[in-house]
Amino acid sequence: MVVFDLDGTLIDSAADIHAAVNHVLTENGLPPLPLTAVRSFIGEGTRVLMQRVIAAVGGDPALLEQWHASFLAEYERNPAVRTTVFPGVREALGQLRGRGARLGLCTNKPARATGLLLEALDLAVFEQVTAGDTLAERKPSPLPVLHTIDLLGGGEAVFIGDSEIDARAAQAGEIPFGIFTGGYAREDLDMFPSRFRFSDWSELPALVDPAASPA
């Protein structure tokens, strides 16, 4: 079985997240943040994202709940305007499913936004989805990943992610980890144990199951 992170792993969602963040800032009479800044805030859930936005613009921390709600409302209205699926993702997922692999998703994004995004991108192919509000803990806690594996039936699994948040979750849960190197990592992932790393999604099926790769 294979469990995937979402943002920065399967999809490049930074542009739509950036647009929703700047919508909130504009509503509050503040200048927009650059895409590079917002991209660096992604990974630990939408509440932490907005905490970082407030800190970046020197806003009042007491506004967090209001700003977070405004962000979610705007993001859920437009979850996939600019978001793209990384090249080769659909084919890799199809190959894995064709070989009988059970697929799960473990994201820190809230469940409603996750569902809307998967439907909009035609990526609703996962047997189990653990979102950022499914459990009391989010990644880098290993519990959401382990929970997803349990829902898939338990046993041997590999977790595919792109960031230090995913790497820490895998390490803490002693879960084999595969690194997609084209995502949103802010730290050097060489410091974390991994079973493999890849930059091209066409490589993934053979990395997950070398015995099934062509001779």
Rounded-to-integer distance, Cα 89 and Cα 205, Å: 10
Give exposure, 102-118, as e/b (b: 16+ Cβ within 10 Å).
bbbbbbbbbeebbbbbb
Work out the angle between the directed axes of helices 64-77 and 111-120 (0-180°, nearest 10). Answer: 20
Pair 176, 157: CB distance under 8 Å: yes
Cis? peptide before 140, omega within 30° of 0: yes
Number of alpha carbons in the 13 Å side-chain half-sphere of residue 35 = 8
- Enter the DSSP assignment of 215: -
What is the Cα–Cα distance from 5 to 206, expressed in whole angstroms?
19
- Ligand-binding site membership of 190 (annotated): no
Tell whether residue 7 is among the known ligand binding residues.
Answer: yes
Determine if residue 12 is labeled as part of a ligand binding site.
Answer: no
State yes or no: is 5 an active-site residue: yes
Catalytic-role residue among 5, 12, 16, 166 = 5
User: Residues comprising the binding site for Mg(2+)?
Assistant: 5, 7, 162
Question: Which residues are annotated as part of the binding site?
Answer: 5, 7, 162
Catalytic residues: 5
